[in-house]
Chains A and B, each alone.
Chain A
Amino acid sequence: DAMVIQNPRYQVTQFGKPVTLSCSQTLNHNVMYWYQQKSSQAPKLLFHYYDKDFNNEADTPDNFQSRRPNTSFCFLDIRSPGLGDAAMYLCATSRVRATNEKLFFGSGTQLSVL
């Protein structure tokens, strides 16, 4: 089945130690999003790629970076994780950017920072 896959499911890192989360998709969608979801809160958009075009949200800290080497893969890099970055990170895709497009989510990566 076509899907959005995130690895790993759980990630533990140390304070200040760089960490990379990965997302892959078999849907051949043009758009890939990264959302941060803290406990009991709504998912918050960090940035997205439309094809190779990177779009950062204004309030996303510089500590968060992303790479999309090809259509199928997208990575979230946290350069120096702080305790406040512990959260569920959700990758999502959509075919195009349009008001009637739904998002397909991966199962998420739960990040813990020690």
Chain B
Amino acid sequence: QQPVQSPQAVILREGEDAVINCSSSKALYSVHWYRQKHGEAPVFLMILLKGGEQKGHEKISASFNEKKQQSSLYLTASQLSYSGTYFCGTRYNDYKLSFGAGTTVTVRA
């Protein structure tokens, strides 16, 4: 079952913040976040497991709200290099990783 991501796209100026949400109607075991630049492979950012932990990668962090079955990715003080499409991938009670439709982030100088 595919998770739902929002927003579909966001445009930022350097230094601004943004939040990307990923939600599921089923109980999640883990949420993965990947970033994909145009024409390239997705690159792993972080994984969050059941338990509501928060993780970080540079100035990008994420949280996992088990009660809401939702994960949020926080882009703080965005840099030009943050541009790309962010996918959340969700795992339920098996190993399959299902990806959301993606959020395209454009950071402008």
Contact = CB atoms under 8 A, between A and B. Distances in A.
**Are A and B physically bound partners?**
yes
Nearest to B98: A45
A97 B49 CA distance: 15
Interface in A44-100: 44-45, 90, 97-100
A100 B101 contact: no
Contacts of A45: 96-98
A31 B32 CA distance: 17
Contacts of B89: 103
A91 B88 CA distance: 18
B41 A100 contact: no
Interface residues of A, number: 21
Interface string B70-107: 00000000000000000101010111111111100000
Contacts, number: 53
Contacts of B100: 42
B30 interface: yes
B64 to A, nearest CB: 12
Contacts of B61: none
B95 A101 contact: yes
A42 B2 contact: yes
Interface residues of B, number: 26
Contacts of A110: 39
Contacts of B44: 102-104
B67 to A, nearest CB: 18
Interface in B29-44: 29-30, 32, 34, 39-44
A111 to B, nearest CB: 13
Contact of A99 (B49, B87, B101): B49
A90 B95 contact: no
Contacts of A41: 101-102
Contacts of A98: 95
Given A45-B96, A102-B32, A90 B42 contact: yes
